[in-house]
Amino acid sequence: MKSLIFLLFLLLPAPAYAVIDYELDVNLHPAQHQLLATARINVNGRVALPLKLQLSQRCEIITIYQGNSPVPYKFSAGLLQLEVSGTEPINISYRGVFNDRASKAPAHNEDPGYGVSTVISADGSYLSAGVNWYPRLREQKVNYRISISAPVGTEAITSGRRIVRQTANGRSNSVWLVDYPLQGLTLAAGPYQLFEDLTGPVPIYAYFYADSAPLAATYLQQARDDLQLYEELFGPYPFHKFAIVENFFPTGYGLPSWTLLGSSVIKLPFIVKTSLGHEIAHSWWGTGVQVDASQGNWAEGLTTYVADYLYQEQISAAAARAYRLKILRDYASLVGPENVFAIAGFSSRHDKASQVIGYGKTALLFHMLRQRIGDQVFWAGLRKLAQERMYTQIGWDDFNAVFSALSGQNLQAFFDQWRTRTEDPQLALQEVQLTAIKDGWRVSGKLTQQPVYQLAIELQLTTKTETLRKQVQIDAPSQSFRFETATRPLALEADPQVNLFHILSAAELPATVNSIRGSNQLLALRAEKNAPDAAAIKTLLGALRKPDLPVRTLTQVSQKELATHDLLIFGLPEQLRPTQLKFEPGGRFTLADQSINLTEQSTFLVEENPLNAAKNAAWFISEDQQAAVVARKIPHYGKYSTLLFKGSQNRLKEIRATDKSPLKVAF
Q: What is the pLDDT of residues 554-600, one digit of tens each?
A: 999 999 999 999 999 999 998 899 999 998 776 678 898 888 888 89
Tell me, yes or no, whether 352 and 433 share the same domain.
no
What value does the mean pLDDT take over residues 357-367? 98
**Is residue 174 within 8 Å of 165, Cβ to Cβ?**
yes
How far are the Cα atoms of 45, 203, 285, 304 from residue 156, in angstroms, in the given order?
Answer: 33, 17, 25, 29
CATH code of the domain containing 164: 2.60.40.1730
* Residue 588 pLDDT: 79
Compute the chain's Rg from CA coordinates: 29
Q: Are residues 440 and 342 in the same domain?
A: no
Are 171 and 26 within one domain? yes
148-201 pLDDT, tens per residue? 999 999 999 999 999 999 999 999 999 999 999 888 999 999 999 999 999 999
Same domain (yes/no): 51, 65 = yes
- Strand partners of residue 617: 567, 607
Separation of alpha carbons 656 and 329, rounded Å: 13
Q: What angle do CA 276, 282, 288 make, to 5 degrees?
A: 145
Please tell me whether residues 347 and 479 are part of one structural domain.
no
Domain count, the chain: 4
Residues near 51 by Cβ (< 8 Å), separated by ≥ 6? 43, 81, 82, 83, 84, 90
Do 515 and 477 lie in one domain? The reply is no
> Among 326, 329, 322, which Cα is nearest to 505's?
329
Give 286's DSSP letter: T
pLDDT in tens, 146-163: 999 999 999 999 999 999
Q: List the 79-82 sheet strands across, edge first.
A: 51-54, 79-82, 73-76
Residue 430: inside a domain:
yes
Q: Is residue 663 part of a domain?
A: no
Task: Give the domain-ending residue among 143, 163, 191.
Answer: 191
Helix then strand count (H, E) for the chain reads 16, 39
Instruction: Name the residue range of residue 639's domain.
Output: 511-654
Last residue of a domain, one of 420, 449, 476: 420
Nearest to 352 by CA among 360, 364, 363: 360
β-bridge mates for residue 569, sequence order: 525, 619
**Confidence band (pLDDT; 50, 70, 90) for 4?**
very low
The answer to whether 57 touches 78, Cβ cutoff 8 Å, is: yes
DSSP 285: B
DSSP code, position 14 = P
What is the average pLDDT across 80-105?
86
**Is 404 exposed, middle or buried, given 0-12, 13-18 or 19+ CB atoms closer than 10 A?**
middle
Q: At what angle do helices 362-373 and 412-420 cross, to 10 degrees?
A: 160
pLDDT in tens, 7-66: 333 333 333 333 468 999 999 999 999 999 999 998 765 556 688 999 999 999 999 999
In this structure, are 330 and 439 located in the same domain?
no
Same domain, 88 and 167: yes
Residue 65 shares a structural domain with residue 187:
yes
In terms of DSSP H, where are the helices of 305-374?
310-315, 317-334, 352-355, 362-373
Q: How many C-beta atoms surround the C-beta of residue 596 within 10 A?
A: 19
Question: Does residue 599 form part of some domain?
Answer: yes
Is 462 part of any domain?
Answer: yes
pLDDT category at 6 given cuts 50, 70, 90 is: very low
**With 60 as the cut, is the pLDDT of residue 90 above it?**
yes
Rounded CA-CA distance 360/306 in Å is: 12
Residue 212 lies in a domain: no
Which of 394, 420, 446 terminates a domain? The answer is 420
CA 574 to centroid of chain Cα atoms: 41
CATH of residue 441's domain is 2.60.40.1840
CATH number at residue 315: 1.10.390.10
Are both 179 and 313 inside the same structural domain? no
Query: What pLDDT, in 10s, does the model give residues 278-289?
Result: 999 999 999 999
Q: If we measure between CA atoms, which residue out of 261, 238, 266 comes closest to residue 251?
A: 261
Query: In this structure, are 30 and 156 located in the same domain?
Result: yes
CB-CB neighbours of 458 under 10 Å: 16
| Highest mean pLDDT (candidates 49-58, 115-124, 234-243, 609-618) | 234-243
Q: Does position 370 have pLDDT exceeding 60, yes or no?
A: yes
Query: What is the SS3 string spanning 177-236?
Result: EECCCCCCCCEEEECCEEEEECCCCCCEEEEECHHHHHHHHHHHHHHHHHHHHHHHHHCC
| pLDDT given for residue 103 in this prediction | 63
Q: Do 154 and 186 reside in the same domain of the chain? A: yes
